[in-house]
C-alpha cells in the first residue's frame, strides 16, 4: 500500500439536496463575489448531526468539538509541528507567580468587530468555572489576572503539567460583552451565541439534512482563510461523493486507499490515536472482580475481531490505554494473550462451572451478560459495528451466555453514563495526546462527564499516581509515573482496550487545501483530519 502521507505511525441524493439547500441559503451573503462563490470546501460526514457549534451546544465527542473550533479560537493551537500561536502570540510560565502569562494578538477581533482583550480571557475562566464546559477542567486554576489590555496571567493553585494541551490549547475563548448577560448558557441559542474569534462565522445548521455552513471571517487576525465557505454534508456514500467531486474531504475505508490514489486523490493516514474498547460495569458483580475482568481479556481474541470487523485493517491495543505512538507509552505494560483455557481457569477459581445447558453457572445461577453495541462514528465515518457479534461468539464458546443489544450510539452512551449496562463496545480518541487522557478515561474525579471513562476508583495507588502525573513538571519524573499508571491499568482492567482501527482520509488536491492528521490529535487529542491550520498558507 503506497501511502503518501503517513503521520506517526447519506447517499448521493442527500448530498445533492443538502448542497442545493446550502447554496440557496447563501445566495445573498454580502461577501459573495463571483470568485468567492466557488471558493468552497465541502466535507463529508457519516453521522452529520453533532449539535450546534458553540461550547454549550455541540455533542460531547471530537466531531462536535471540531465543528465548534472553526468559530471559537483558543489561546494556542496544535499544528503539524506542535503548539503554535492562536489568540496568544506568545506565552511563558512564570514559576514565581505560578502562572502562565499570555500576550494576546492585538489584531484579534470578534465576529461582530469588537476587539479580543485580556478581559475576555479572564471572563472565560469565570464562565466555565460557573457553567462547566465538558472539554476542560479548571480545578487547578486559581484565577485569571488582567495585566493590561492584551496581557493576561492564568494563576494555578498548584503545578499542572498538562496546562497547555488541556486548557491553553483546548479552551475556547468567549466574548465577555455577549456572555456576561447570559443567565443559562445551555439554553442560549440566538445569533450572538455563535459570535467567536475563529477563522469562520457560523451561518446555518440544518438538522434535517445534518448540514453545516460557515463563511470566512475576512478580518481574522491570521489572515483570511483560503476557502470562502466551509460546508459539512452528511454522506451515506462518501466514496461516490468524492469521485463525483461533490465533496473535497472524507474519511474512507482502508480498502479504498489504492483505488482513490489511482484517481488522483491524496491520502492521509492517522497514527494510533483512536481505540475501540470494551466498557465494563465494574460496580456490579461479577464485573467488580479483577480476576473476572482478566478472564474476559483472555477470552477475547482481538485479532479475530480485527480480521472479521475491520478486514484486517487494525492493530491490537495496549492494555495500558496509551497508544504505542505516544511519547510516554510503556512497552513493559502487561499483555493478555488470547487463551480460553486461562480464562476458564480464572472463572473456575471464582466458583463458576458448567451447567446442564453447557453454559457456566455459579451456585445454580447462570452466568449471563448483556453486551451493548452501536454503529460507532470515528473521524466522521460511521460504520456498522460487527465487533459485538465476534465478542458474543467468543464469550459463548467459553460458556458465558451473551445477549447482544444493538442501540443508536447516543442511547448506548446514555446507558453507560447511568451505569445501566454490563458490557458495552465503545471507542474514543485522545490516546496519542497528552497523558492526562489517562485521568479522564480511568478516574471518576476527572472523567465523570465522559461516556468513555471507566470512572474507576477502587485502586487507591492508581488514583494517587493519576494525580501525581498532573503535578510532575519534570518530564522524566512524569514519564516514570505514567509508565506505572499504564501497568496498573493493564492489571486492573477497568475497561479493556481492544484495537486501533487503521484510519484514512482522502481529499481532492485540486481544492487547494492540504489536509492532515494532527500528531497527537487536535486540541486534547482528537484524531480527525480537519485542522483549521489547513486553511492557511
Specify the CATH number for the domain of residue 150: 3.90.76.10
CATH for 519 = 3.40.190.10
Residue 193 lies in a domain: no
- 3-state secondary structure at position 21: helix
Length of the chain measured in residues:
537
The burial class, CB within 10 Å (0-12 / 13-18 / 19+), for 20 is exposed
Q: For the chain, how many helices (H) and strands (E)?
A: 17, 25
C-alpha 250/C-alpha 44 separation (Å) is 5
Across 157-312, the runs of DSSP E, i.e. the strands, are 200-206, 211-216, 229-234, 249-252, 266-269, 274-280
What is the model's pLDDT at position 449? 67
Domain coverage including residue 221: 5-71+198-269+503-535
Residue 192 lies in a domain: no
Q: Do residues 453 and 343 both lie within one domain?
A: yes
Residue 230 preceded by cis peptide, ω within 30: no
- 3-state secondary structure at position 354: strand
Q: Do residues 339 and 471 both lie within one domain?
A: yes
What is the model's pLDDT at position 325? 94
Partnered with residue 249 across adjacent β-strands are: 43, 507
Whose CA is closest to 68, among 209, 195, 176, 166?
195
The H or E element spanning position 294 is helix 290-299
Q: Do residues 488 and 514 both lie within one domain?
A: no
Q: Do residues 230 and 300 both lie within one domain?
A: no
Q: Do residues 397 and 311 both lie within one domain?
A: yes
Q: Do residues 90 and 142 both lie within one domain?
A: yes
C-alpha 338/C-alpha 454 separation (Å) is 23
Partnered with residue 58 across adjacent β-strands are: 51
CA 315 to chain centroid: 19
For residue 153, the tally of other CB atoms under 10 A from its CB is 20
C-alpha 15/C-alpha 241 separation (Å) is 8
Dump pLDDT digits (tens) for 175-186.
999 999 999 999
What is the model's pLDDT at position 36? 40
Q: Do residues 258 and 169 both lie within one domain?
A: no
C-alpha 467/C-alpha 439 separation (Å) is 8
238 CB contacts (<8 Å, ≥6 apart)? 44, 46, 247, 250, 251, 252, 381
C-alpha 481/C-alpha 35 separation (Å) is 55
Q: Do residues 368 and 495 both lie within one domain?
A: yes
Whose CA is closest to 186, among 110, 108, 134, 114?
134
Q: Are 140 and 160 in contact (CB under 8 A)?
A: yes
The three three-digit cell numbers of residue 226, written as one number: 483560503
Q: Do residues 295 and 404 both lie within one domain?
A: yes
Is the pTM here over 0.75, yes or no? yes
Q: Tell me phi and psi for residue 205, to 5 degrees.
A: -130, 125
Partnered with residue 204 across adjacent β-strands are: 213
What is the model's pLDDT at position 376? 62
Residue 437 lies in a domain: yes
Residue 20 lies in a domain: yes
Whose CA is closest to 171, among 184, 154, 185?
154
C-alpha 99/C-alpha 84 separation (Å) is 19
User: Where a domain ends, among 179, 213, 246?
Assistant: 179
What is the model's pLDDT at position 25? 41
Q: Do residues 287 and 401 both lie within one domain?
A: yes
89 CB contacts (<8 Å, ≥6 apart)? 103, 104, 105
Ramachandran quadrant class, 245 (left: phi over 0; alpha: psi -120 to 50; beta: rest): left
Q: Do residues 460 and 493 both lie within one domain?
A: yes
CA distances from 163 to 168, 318, 323, 403 (A): 6, 26, 21, 43
C-alpha 344/C-alpha 360 separation (Å) is 10
Q: Tell me phi and psi for residue 176, to 5 degrees.
A: -60, -35
Q: Tens digit of pLDDT per residue, the chain (537 long)?
A: 333 333 333 333 333 334 444 444 443 333 333 334 348 999 998 888 899 999 999 998 899 999 999 999 999 999 999 999 999 999 999 999 999 999 999 999 999 999 999 999 999 999 999 999 989 999 999 999 999 999 999 999 999 999 999 999 999 999 999 999 999 999 999 999 999 999 999 999 998 888 999 999 999 999 999 999 999 998 878 888 899 999 999 999 999 999 999 999 999 999 999 999 999 999 999 999 999 999 999 999 999 999 998 999 999 999 999 999 999 999 999 999 999 999 999 999 999 999 999 999 999 999 999 999 987 654 444 455 689 999 999 999 999 999 999 999 889 999 999 999 999 999 998 899 999 999 999 999 876 668 899 999 999 999 999 999 999 999 999 999 999 999 999 999 999 999 999 999 999 999 999 999 999 999 999 999 999 999 998
Q: Do residues 90 and 173 both lie within one domain?
A: yes
CA angle 98, 100, 102 (to 5 degrees): 150
Amino acid at each position: 500500500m503506497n501511502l503518501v502521507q503517513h503521520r506517526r505511525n447519506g447517499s448521493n441524493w442527500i448530498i445533492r439536496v443538502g448542497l442545493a439547500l446550502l447554496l440557496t441559503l447563501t445566495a445573498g451573503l454580502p461577501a459573495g463575489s463571483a470568485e468567492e462563490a466557488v471558493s468552497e470546501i465541502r466535507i463529508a460526514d457519516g453521522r452529520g448531526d453533532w449539535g450546534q457549534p458553540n461550547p454549550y451546544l455541540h455533542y460531547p465527542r471530537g466531531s462536535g468539538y471540531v465543528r465548534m473550533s472553526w468559530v471559537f479560537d483558543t489561546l494556542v493551537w496544535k499544528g503539524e509541528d506542535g503548539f503554535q500561536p492562536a489568540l496568544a502570540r506568545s506565552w511563558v510560565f512564570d514559576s514565581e507567580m505560578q502562572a502562565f502569562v499570555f500576550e494576546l494578538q492585538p489584531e484579534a477581533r470578534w465576529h461582530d468587530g469588537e476587539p479580543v482583550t485580556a478581559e475576555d480571557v479572564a471572563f472565560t475562566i469565570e464562565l466555565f468555572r460557573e457553567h462547566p464546559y465538558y472539554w476542560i477542567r479548571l480545578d487547578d486554576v486559581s484565577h485569571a489576572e488582567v495585566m493590561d489590555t492584551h496581557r493576561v496571567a492564568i494563576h494555578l493553585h498548584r503545578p499542572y503539567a498538562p496546562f497547555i494541551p488541556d486548557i491553553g490549547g483546548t479552551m475556547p475563548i468567549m466574548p465577555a460583552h455577549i456572555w456576561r448577560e447570559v443567565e443559562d448558557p445551555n439554553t442560549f441559542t440566538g445569533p450572538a451565541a455563535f459570535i467567536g474569534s475563529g477563522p469562520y462565522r457560523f451561518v446555518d445548521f440544518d438538522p434535517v439534512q445534518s448540514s453545516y455552513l460557515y463563511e470566512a471571517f475576512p478580518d481574522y487576525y491570521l489572515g483570511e482563510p483560503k476557502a470562502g465557505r466551509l460546508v459539512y454534508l452528511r454522506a451515506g456514500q462518501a466514496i461516490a461523493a468524492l469521485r463525483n467531486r461533490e465533496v473535497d474531504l472524507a474519511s474512507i475505508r482502508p480498502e479504498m486507499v489504492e483505488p482513490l490514489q489511482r484517481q488522483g486523490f491524496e491520502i492521509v493516514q492517522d497514527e494510533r490515536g483512536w481505540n475501540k474498547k470494551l466498557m465494563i460495569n465494574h460496580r456490579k458483580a461479577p464485573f467488580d472482580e479483577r480476576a473476572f475482568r482478566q478472564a474476559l481479556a483472555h477470552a477475547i481474541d482481538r485479532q479475530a475481531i480485527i480480521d472479521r470487523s475491520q478486514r484486517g485493517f487494525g492493530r491490537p491495543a495496549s492494555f495500558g490505554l496509551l497508544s504505542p505512538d505516544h511519547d510516554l507509552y510503556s512497552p513493559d505494560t502487561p499483555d493478555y494473550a488470547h487463551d480460553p483455557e486461562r480464562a476458564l481457569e480464572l472463572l473456575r477459581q471464582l466458583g463458576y462451572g458448567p451447567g446442564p445447558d453447557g453454559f457456566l453457572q455459579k451456585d445454580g445461577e447462570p452466568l449471563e451478560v448483556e453486551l451493548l453495541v452501536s454503529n460507532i462514528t470515528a473521524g466522521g465515518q460511521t460504520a456498522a459495528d460487527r465487533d459485538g457479534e465476534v465478542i458474543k461468539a467468543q464469550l459463548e464458546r467459553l460458556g458465558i451466555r451473551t445477549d447482544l443489544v444493538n442501540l443508536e450510539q447516543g442511547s448506548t452512551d446514555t446507558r453507560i453514563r447511568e451505569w445501566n449496562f454490563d458490557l458495552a463496545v465503545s471507542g474514543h480518541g485522545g490516546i496519542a495526546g497528552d497523558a492526562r487522557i489517562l485521568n479522564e478515561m480511568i478516574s471518576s474525579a476527572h472523567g465523570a462527564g465522559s461516556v468513555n471513562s471507566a470512572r474507576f476508583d477502587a485502586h487507591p495507588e492508581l488514583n494517587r499516581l493519576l494525580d501525581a502525573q498532573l503535578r510532575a513538571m519534570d518530564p522524566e519524573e512524569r514519564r516514570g509515573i505514567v509508565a506505572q499508571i499504564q501497568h496498573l491499568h493493564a492489571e486492573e482492567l477497568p475497561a479493556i482496550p481492544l484495537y486501533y482501527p487503521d484510519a484514512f482520509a482522502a481529499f481532492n488536491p485540486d481544492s487547494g487545501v492540504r489536509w492532515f492528521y494532527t500528531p497527537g490529535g487536535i486540541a486534547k487529542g482528537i484524531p480527525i483530519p480537519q485542522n483549521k491550520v489547513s486553511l492557511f498558507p
